[in-house]
Amino acid sequence: MTDLATERGLAVELSDLTRVYGAVRALDGLTLHLEPGELVCLLGPSGCGKTTALRILAGLDQPTSGTVSVGGRDLTRVPANKRDMGMVFQAYSLFPHMTVIDNVAFGLKLRGRDGASRRKRAGDMLDLVGLGQHADRYAHQLSGGQQQRVALARALAVEPSVLLLDEPLSALDAKVRVQLRDEIRRVQLEVGTTTLFVTHDQEEALAVADRVGVMNAGRLEQLAPPAELYSAPATKFVGEFVGLSNRLPATVTAGVASVLGQEVPALDGSATGSGSALVRPEAISVVADPSGGATVTTVQFLGPLSRVTCQLADGTDVVAQLASTDAVRLTPGDAVRLEVAPSPVLVVAD
């Protein structure tokens, strides 16, 4: 934590939130806790309720029922301008007639800070996001990534207790998105502000978050650290939405799943009896074997990794992700045997 850190990260509690718009139930009993200084991503498809949750936390929308508290203080009916939150949205929303440093200092001016102190604070925030040398430029003179950095600096300048990021990278091209994603995480760790980050991009969520909450139809399906979310999905939706999974016939007995004739542990929450195992491509090995029961159909080179698709005798396609140095030995038409790594799998009912 540096001297720029707000040191004001507070716990956030969303309790049993519902939000109904006519016949649409945008949130259905959402409960979410953020630890002080934690960055939590809400991840899910369009219409799942993640932005509605952020807007309710910001005070831009009101819940039909449920409560919002920050640092133990009930904010459910407190207006947005009294909530001490910084916000960054997909649109940069910079004032075109103001210089970069004046944009960053704008919130401080509204709070009555004198000119010298707000310029100092704004300059510090621009240095933090690597744009100190652009302080006297205007928004139209900056790239999209630079403009979003200014928006982040402006949100942090007021020393918010909570930072809210709503799809902040979706308007940027792929390379800039990755760079700014890493920058946001670096800055957030440095200032220590409790942060809620909303995105539909799973790679983004897994890369920046302390924990990721996967939402579906207004409900929180699972909240877990990225590695746990990926390796131990709690529900069928999470297993299929996060990452790529093969659906393979399986039978579960006493916590053990039989998949492709091999036994692997079944995750808690797995269906019993017959179902489908969700197996990650990297958990599949492809071994040359004339009597292996599978045939290579395609090999896609993706740099250090390659994606190999094989077809079982019953016509089921299975995707494996291999090191390209191993995949180079495989060609379409090869007879192979598929082996499943002994890592736990989720088995879902068909």
Task: Please say if the pLDDT value at position 6 is more than 70.
Answer: no
Q: How confident is the model at residue 3 (pLDDT cuts 50, 70, 90)?
A: very low
User: Does 307 score more than 90 pLDDT?
Assistant: yes
Using CA atoms, how far apart are residues 141 and 85, in angstroms rounded to an integer?
28
What are the structural domains, with CATH classification, of the chain?
Answer: 12-231 (3.40.50.300), 250-348 (2.40.50.100)
Provide the percentage of residues in the chain whose pLDDT is more than 70: 98
Res. 259 pLDDT band, cuts 50 70 90 = very high
Among the listed ranges 10-19, 39-48, 98-107, which one has the minimum average pLDDT value? 98-107
Average pLDDT of the residues in 84-107: 88
Q: Report whether pLDDT(229) > 80.
A: yes
> Mean pLDDT over residues 15-44, rounded?
97
pLDDT at 8: 57
User: Which positions ≥6 away from 181 have C-beta within 8 Å?
Assistant: 169, 204, 207, 208
Residue 309 has pLDDT above 90, yes or no: yes
Report the alpha-carbon distance of residue 83 to residue 76 in Å, rounded. Answer: 10
* Three-class SS of the chain: CCCCCCCCCCCEEEEEEEEEECCEEEEEEEEEEECCCCEEEEECCCCCCHHHHHHHHHCCCCCCEEEEEECCEECCCCCHHHCCEEEECCCCCCCCCCEHHHHHHHHHHHCCCCHHHHHHHHHHHHHHCCCHHHCCCEHHHCCHHHHHHHHHHHHHHCCCCEEEEECCCCCCCHHHHHHHHHHHHHHHHHHCCEEEEEECCHHHHHHHCCEEEEEECCEEEEEECHHHHHHCCCCHHHHHHCCCCEEEEEEEECCEEEECCEEEEECCCCCCEEEEEEECHHHEEEEECCCCCEEEEEEEECCCEEEEEEEECCCCEEEEEEEHHHHCCCCCCCEEEEEECCCCEEEECC
For 99-151, what is each residue's pLDDT tens digit? 999 999 988 887 877 778 888 999 998 998 888 999 999 989 998 889 988 98
Nearest one of 286, 281, 276 to 339, comparing CA atoms: 286
Over residues 207-235, mean pLDDT: 96
Mean local confidence (pLDDT), 279-295: 95
Q: Is the pLDDT of residue 31 over 70?
A: yes
pLDDT (tens digit per residue) in 175-186: 888 988 998 899
SS (H, E, C) 192-260: CCEEEEEECCHHHHHHHCCEEEEEECCEEEEEECHHHHHHCCCCHHHHHHCCCCEEEEEEEECCEEEEC
User: What is the pTM assigned to this prediction?
Assistant: 0.88
164, 85 in Cβ contact below 8 A?
yes
* Least confident range of 7-11, 199-203, 294-298, 310-314: 7-11
